[in-house]
Structure 1
Amino acid sequence: MSASKRPRVGRSLKPFKRPWLWAGLWMLAIAIVVAGSLMPAKALPSVNVSDKLQHFAAYAVLSAGAVQLFVRRLSWGFVCVLLVLLGIGLEYMQAQMAVGRMLDRNDALANTIGVLIGLATAFTPLRDALLHFDRRL
């Protein structure tokens, strides 16, 4: 198959030297957030940081990660909507599971604000930080 006919690795991804590495790490971060959200409360490590701040930070990092990975604004918006829905869905799942966790609308709000702040990094010079880092390796 000629180089021009070879399928490209995601039209929405930025032109990384290692696209699978960065996309894989981002997906791993999502999996960690999902697992942490569904673990029993007793199994989670105790940290002296507000629960809402943890939610905010986790979703801000995931959303900023999408900005780092994807070149298209449409992709950023799509991922951010999915992250907000993920946060809401996980809150509902916590309420349905008998693991000592409960639905907290303020957690979902903190998740959503985190997503928006992460998305806001698209409008800063940091937007391509991972791409520059990838090219230096």
Structure 2
Amino acid sequence: MSASSRRFGRSLKPFRHPRTWMALWVLAIAIVVITSLLPGKDLPPVGMNDKLEHVTAYALLAASAVQLFARRLSWGFVCVLLVLMGIGLEFLQGAMGLGRTMDSHDALANAIGVLVGLGSAFTPLRDLLLRIDRRLAGG
């Protein structure tokens, strides 16, 4: 394990580039937060059902956490935080008065997405990012 991996604690998988992967994950979270708080009129059409957008976004965030973190406790903690983030963003949408409304069905879709992403932990793909990281590092 490299010195930079140790600085992130034992929760992360033994990446050669842990900061890069964490930064990309945090960027993805920021994109979800920002797009959730933009006025509805400013959002480009994605061509996908609204609830499917929510499920997909949160499934990708949770599956990314499975890719990054080695410990099940970390997965659970991150997944709880993602569900709470989704609920909080729905409240903010209703409170900000930017043409968006709070929708409990969106919050439910977010939670379902988190569960779908967490489900990736029980597939052979759960260490895909670790394998990619090692190939990029030439090892």
TM-score by length of 2: 0.93
**Aligned counterpart, 1:54:** 53
1:11, distance to aligned residue in structure 2 (A): 1.3
Work out the CA distance in 2 between the residues paired with 1:125 and 1:100: 42
**Aligned counterpart, 1:71:** 70
**Aligned counterpart, 1:35:** 34
**Aligned counterpart, 1:107:** 106
1:10, distance to aligned residue in structure 2 (A): 2.1
**Aligned counterpart, 1:121:** 120
**Aligned counterpart, 1:86:** 85
Work out the CA distance in 2 between the residues paired with 1:76 and 1:26: 14
Q: Does 1:44 align with 2:43?
A: yes
For structure 1, the 5+ residue unaligned runs are none
Work out the CA distance in 2 between the residues paired with 1:102 and 1:13: 36
3-state SS of paired residue (1:16)? coil
Work out the CA distance in 1 between the residues paired with 2:11 and 2:46: 37
Q: Runs ≥4 in structure 1, deviation > 4 angstroms?
A: none
**Higher fraction of helix:** 2
Q: Matched residues, percent identical?
A: 66
3-state SS of paired residue (1:112)? helix
Aligned residues: 133
**Aligned counterpart, 1:10:** 9
Work out the CA distance in 2 between the residues paired with 1:20 and 1:91: 30
**Aligned counterpart, 2:130:** 131
